[in-house]
Structure 1
């Protein structure tokens, strides 16, 4: 029973993601949007921590976790476009840059490993925190200034690190905390 908790938290995040989008489909969000997002974010924090603590941090669980993260933030991005198109448009160049970088990351990983990486780096955790803050600022306070710019900047740094890791690691490996850790695996 205890071993199913991390996977259940991933499933909760996958379930909450389209519900957040559903809440934004009419161009507005309710208080539930913030509550649902906070629950999804907490599930992301605790799924990996619990999995490591009880010894069930498998490659398939980590891949599912990464997929749930992509689903969550894709639904958040679409929700942002629906609810705050003016703010998204104001950040169109930096947002386009991070989207392009993430697509390059995906292509590099698919070309080398045949599947996306699932490193769960420190920089990914930092990006997650900045995305959380930017999302709360956007949907809770209608603000997309410094918080969104920092999230995009941290996302770019994270993406460059993970592309470099993929280029140096000979085989697909999950849970590699940084480029320093990747170099130690060589």
Structure 2
């Protein structure tokens, strides 16, 4: 029976790929209640992101390949959400072009550093980054609902910059590519060859 269960986490990951397509379609076509539908998909997508890892670890199928796929599709999901929000509320994005460019540049830099050093994408799944994801969700929901966001967007920006800097620091500290590095402190322990404790629910 277990062999059937192992498909659940993979299905949850690929569900976000489907959500990405639907979000873009809703953003461009804008049928009745499209804002609410997109926000429901965003929240559902975040829930699947939480539970795919929990279920995979419970079933002992949380492999490196699985975590890399999870990170890759997460990027597609949130990028699609960002594009959708831009289509719906382009004025907000034009007013905040500089901050968004800096934040996206910092995100791109994490991948550049990882590829240059390890020839692999980022898959640290740091705890602070998971917290940042919650602020991204809240900010996008507010923007899509009202085409406006003030303190929430600023909070998301600074939280994003802090977490991107942490990831870059982690990548410089660790000697070989690692997935599921909970924090900068854990990266230092890994470099020293010491064992680290990971949260069974949220990180490895």
TM range (shorter): over 0.9
Q: Give the whole-Å Cα distance in 1 for the aligned partners of 2:146 and 2:89.
A: 11
Gaps of 5+ in 2: 192-204
Q: Distance in 2 between matches of 1:156 and 1:91?
A: 15
Distance 1:3 1:181 in 2: 29
Instruction: State the TM-score, normalizing by the size of structure 2.
Output: 0.87
Which structure has the bigger radius of gyration? Answer: 2
Once the two structures are superposed, what CA deviation does each residue of 1:101-140 show, in whole Å capped at 9, x if it has no partner? 1121111011011111201101110111101111111112
Counterpart for residue 121 of structure 1: 126
User: Where do 5+ consecutive residues of structure 1 fail to align?
Assistant: none
Task: Quote the residue 2:61 is aligned against.
Answer: 56
CA RMSD, 1 decimal: 1.4
- 1:62-73 equivalences under 5 Å are 62-73=67-78
Residue equivalent to 2:164: 159
Q: Aligned equivalents of 2:54 and 2:9: distance in 1?
A: 8
**Paired residue for 1:169?**
174
Aligned residue for 2:11?
A: 8
SS of match in other structure, 2:6? helix
Aligned residues: 186
* Equivalent residue for 1:93, pick from 81, 90, 98: 98
Task: Tell me whether 1:110 sits opposite 2:128 in the alignment.
Answer: no
For 2:20, which of 4, 13, 17 is the aligned residue? 17
Q: Give every structure 1 segment of 4 or more consecutive aligned residues whose post-TM-superposition deviation is greater than 2 Å.
A: 26-31, 140-143
Is the Cα–Cα contact under 8 Å of residues 26 and 82 in structure 1 kept in the other structure? no
Aligned to 1:47: 52
